[in-house]
Amino acid sequence: MTTVKTRLDAWRGLKPGAIASEIGDYAIFALRRFVQDRGMHSASSLTYMTLLSLVPLLAIVFAIFAAFPAFEEIRVQLERAIIENLVPGADIQIRDYLNKFLKNTARLGTIGVVTLGLTALLLLANIEATLNRIWRVKRTRSLITRFLIYWSVLTMGPLLLGAGITLTTNIASIAQDGLSVAGLSARGLLDDKDGIGDEFLSMACQVICFMFLFAIVPNCRVAWRDALIGGFVSGAGFQILKAGFTWYLANVFTYQTIYGAMAVFPIFLIWLYFSWWVILLGAVFAASFPDWWMVRGPPPGTLPSPASTLAVGIRLLGILRDASSRSGALSAEQIAERTAVRNIDQILRAL
């Protein structure tokens, strides 16, 4: 009888097909949890909050950049990046509307500015609450702690982002100069005319941003490995979503035919909804990975260790206790569905 310390140790002796099967099981496990956690409903709620908070949030970010003339070029680059990622294929109209909205915010008084700040903070609070539900966190941070964190994100976040963009630009410039001195061409690496390098860099930045979001925002300890998995899912999902949305707007004219010049509003609403859908899906993948790692049972070709069997047995007893106080007995199929364990029959016989 052999035991394995980790799933990665077991994967070293498996064929690629068996590893792919394991990854598929994990994806199904995460998707089921996304549905059970009402992820689509949460995406709808966050879409509504984003509609109310987007302009105030951008107004605060750009106002902070405007206070530092050294970041003027970075502000222009960031504005262009935000607009291009808001609604691919409809960025010109979105840019015009946002510019009008942002100019209007400059005429607000003190009460209006405070209201803008509170609206932006409300969006951050809803994001934290949603991620806490995904990670099964019941204890929230104190009100003062949350306010300080949100305000730090609103004030220091843009400055750190600007410093990061500046540092990245300097590194790219140094790398290009180094290649030139060495007699090598940077074409195809830093001067990618096909846009492949830009897409890869965009996805890498998105993965990093989502990784930090999933690692820091939930009020619990999140392993960087789990956050990276979720960040990759959301980052890759965004690239696929942008490509699909761009193709749809270029080839399907349903909304333009029905709404005419107003088509940008339902298109923007749909884009926001699917964007939150992708973000929350990545969060669920990050949150469910340690649970799947613990309860899925042994990979094909291996035997469970006594410790893993005991852990699953304790989890199973908890499920049976909850069921006895709510809905009564559970069938073996229902237990297997709730525990997502392959060797559930063996554990049931042992109990």
Residue 189: per-residue pLDDT: 45
Based on the domain organization, do 249 and 328 belong to the same domain? no
Q: Is residue 169 part of a domain?
A: yes
Rounded distance between C-alpha atoms, residue 53 and residue 120, angstroms: 5
Residue 230: per-residue pLDDT: 92
Q: How many domains does the chain have?
A: 2
Residue 145: per-residue pLDDT: 81
Residue 261: per-residue pLDDT: 60
Based on the domain organization, do 150 and 254 belong to the same domain? yes
Based on the domain organization, do 13 and 159 belong to the same domain? yes
Angle value at C-alpha 325, between 321 and 329, nearest 5 degrees:
70
Based on the domain organization, do 67 and 211 belong to the same domain? yes
Residue 207: per-residue pLDDT: 87
Rounded distance between C-alpha atoms, residue 98 and residue 93, angstroms: 9
Q: 276, 296, 316 — which closes off a domain?
A: 296
Based on the domain organization, do 316 and 216 belong to the same domain? no
Containing domain of residue 63, as a range? Answer: 4-296
- The C-alpha R_g of the chain, in whole angstroms, comes to 24
Based on the domain organization, do 244 and 335 belong to the same domain? no
Based on the domain organization, do 214 and 284 belong to the same domain? yes
Q: Is residue 301 part of a domain?
A: no
Rounded distance between C-alpha atoms, residue 214 and residue 135, angstroms: 10
Residue 147: per-residue pLDDT: 77
Based on the domain organization, do 235 and 335 belong to the same domain? no
Residue 36: per-residue pLDDT: 87
Residue 37: per-residue pLDDT: 85
Tokens of 289: 């990975």
Based on the domain organization, do 87 and 130 belong to the same domain? yes
Based on the domain organization, do 233 and 253 belong to the same domain? yes
Give whole-number Cα distances, 70 to 73, 75, 87, 97, in Å: 8, 10, 29, 27
Helix axes 196-216 and 224-251, enclosed angle (nearest 10): 130
Residue 84: per-residue pLDDT: 61
Contacts of 212 (CB under 8 A, 6+ apart): 227, 231
pLDDT along the chain (351 residues), means of 10: 48 69 84 88 87 74 67 66 60 64 63 72 85 86 79 64 54 52 48 58 80 87 88 89 78 63 72 89 89 60 59 73 68 56 57 59
Residue 187: per-residue pLDDT: 47
Closest of 278, 195, 298 to residue 230, by C-alpha: 278
The pTM (predicted TM-score) of the whole model is 0.67
Give whole-number Cα distances, 41 to 37, 56, 120, 242, 277, in Å: 9, 24, 21, 22, 9
Rounded distance between C-alpha atoms, residue 135 and residue 220, angstroms: 8
Based on the domain organization, do 145 and 107 belong to the same domain? yes
Based on the domain organization, do 131 and 233 belong to the same domain? yes
